[in-house]
Amino acid sequence: MTDGRVKCLDGSLVYVHQDAETVEVVVRGYKVTMTLEAASQLSQLLVPDRQAPKQPAPSKTSESRPLKRAAPTRVSRSRGSIAELLAEGLLPPLSILMAYHQGKDYEALVTDEGRLIVDDKEFDTPSAAAMYALGRQSWNGWTFWHFDGIPISNLRWRLRAKHFTNDQSDISDSYRNEKQSVINRWMEWALKRGFNPGNRDEDTVERFLNEWEYSPSTLNSYRRHLNEWFDIYDPIT
């Protein structure tokens, strides 16, 4: 059993307590128990503190418990979750989510299982955590919480776009690549301008397509790809 501390890249300290199978980590006052496998992934985000004692390597004979994490091979085309963002590498484990509302700052810690911790209470969804933090009966946590200055709703939209053509096995690779490219480009274009990528607004779509100097037939094909996207996600937020 060992104790120590490591320093984050931003200078903040993370305290660690390790036994044979688990690591107890305290980040900014939040306590989380992690498997050794999850802790090894977290270590990529940290640099050692010069005053911290060296941690011995885990015994090869000890068996770590499997991570309880969503499988990265299949993501719902209609939704998305924190666990799926973790599985796809869009959000690091033990991330600190930030929010600001009516002159007050809020923080939430993301566990390696995709839950959020606020004031030592765990929540299954960002919205539940936001409602608790604000004392409200209803609130959109996906737009409330931010990671690295970006609403986590943006990360979920990128997750949806990434898997847009997952189940379209009846089309050629070149056509699938074309559809995926159009959706990826639309996604980044819309997010950069503060538009909801799932909102079917014809004027906005034409603004997007007019930036492409392609033939009318090609643009019509791109419109069909976007309409297929909107058929799934409009009016989902």
pLDDT, tens digit, 9 for 90 and up, residues 210-236: 998 889 999 999 999 999 999 988 776
Work out the average pLDDT over 189-198: 94
Is residue 93 a part of any domain in this protein?
yes
Q: What local confidence, expressed as pLDDT, does residue 213 receive?
A: 86
92 and 110 assigned to the same domain? yes
User: What is the pTM for the complete model shown?
Assistant: 0.68
Q: pLDDT (tens digit, 9 = 90+) per residue, 3-49? A: 444 444 444 445 555 555 666 666 656 566 666 565 555 555 444 43
Q: Clarify whether residues 140 and 179 are in a common domain.
A: no
Q: Which residues contact 230 (CB under 8 A, 6 or more apart)?
A: 198, 199, 200
How far is Cα 108 from Cα 89, in angstroms, rounded to an integer?
19
Same domain membership, residue 112 and residue 146: yes
Mean pLDDT score of the chain: 79
Do 190 and 151 belong together in one domain?
no
Same domain, 88 and 42: no
Asked whether the beta carbons of 233 and 160 are under 8 A apart, the reply is: yes
Region for residue 120 given its phi and psi (left: phi exceeds 0; alpha: psi -120 to 50; beta: otherwise): left
Of 137, 158, 179, which marks where a domain is finished? 158
- Structure confidence at residue 172 (pLDDT): 92
* Residue ending a domain, choose from 138, 158, 178: 158
pLDDT at 154 over 60: yes
What is the number of structural domains in the chain? 3
Are both 175 and 148 inside the same structural domain? no
Neighbours of 108 (CB within 10 A): 26
pLDDT of residue 170: 86
pLDDT at 193: 95
- Report the percentage of the chain scoring pLDDT > 70: 66
pLDDT at 63 over 50: no
Q: Exposed/middle/buried for 87, CB within 10 Å: 0-12, 13-18, 19+?
A: buried
Its domain, for residue 42, covers 2-48
Question: What CA–CA distance (Å, rounded) separates 166 from 56?
Answer: 42
Single out the residue of 109, 136, 137, 134 nearest to residue 123, CA to CA.
109
Using CB atoms within 10 Å of the CB of residue 185, give its burial: 0 to 12 exposed, 13 to 18 middle, 19+ buried.
Answer: middle
Q: Is residue 131 part of a domain?
A: yes
* In a shared domain, residues 130 and 175: no
176 and 133: one domain?
Answer: no
> What distance in Å separates the CA atoms of residue 193 and residue 2, rounded to the nearest whole number?
49
Residue 23 resides in a domain: yes
Q: What is the pLDDT of residue 11?
A: 45
Angle, helices 173-192 vs 216-233, to 10°: value is 70
* Same structural domain, 90 and 148: yes
Q: Work out the burial of residue 89: count CB atoms within 10 Å of its CB; fewer than 13 is exposed, 13-18 middle, 19 or more buried.
A: exposed
Among 128, 158, 188, residue at a domain's last position: 158
Q: Are residues 153 and 180 in the same domain?
A: no
Please, which pLDDT band fits residue 77 given cuts at 50, 70 and 90? low
Whether residue 176 sits in one domain with residue 146: no
Q: Which residue type sits at 135?
A: G
Q: Is residue 65 part of a domain?
A: no
Please report whether residue 77 resides in a domain: no
Confidence of residue 138 (pLDDT cuts 50, 70, 90): very high
Before 216, cis peptide (omega within 30)?
no
Q: Identify the residue with better confidence: 139 or 44.
A: 139
Q: What is the pLDDT of residue 25?
A: 64
Q: Which amino acid is at 33?
A: T
User: Checking DSSP bridges between strand 150-151 and strand 116-118, what pairing results, if any?
Assistant: unpaired
Of the chain, the percentage scoring pLDDT greater than 90 comes to 59
Q: The tokens of 107 are what?
A: 């923080």
Tell me, what's the pLDDT at 130?
98
Same domain, 29 and 96: no
Residue 114: predicted pLDDT: 95
Q: Report the phi/psi class of residue 100: left, alpha or beta, with left for phi > 0 and alpha for psi in -120 to 50.
A: beta
Q: Considering the domain boundaries, does residue 54 fall inside one?
A: no
- pLDDT value at position 20? 53
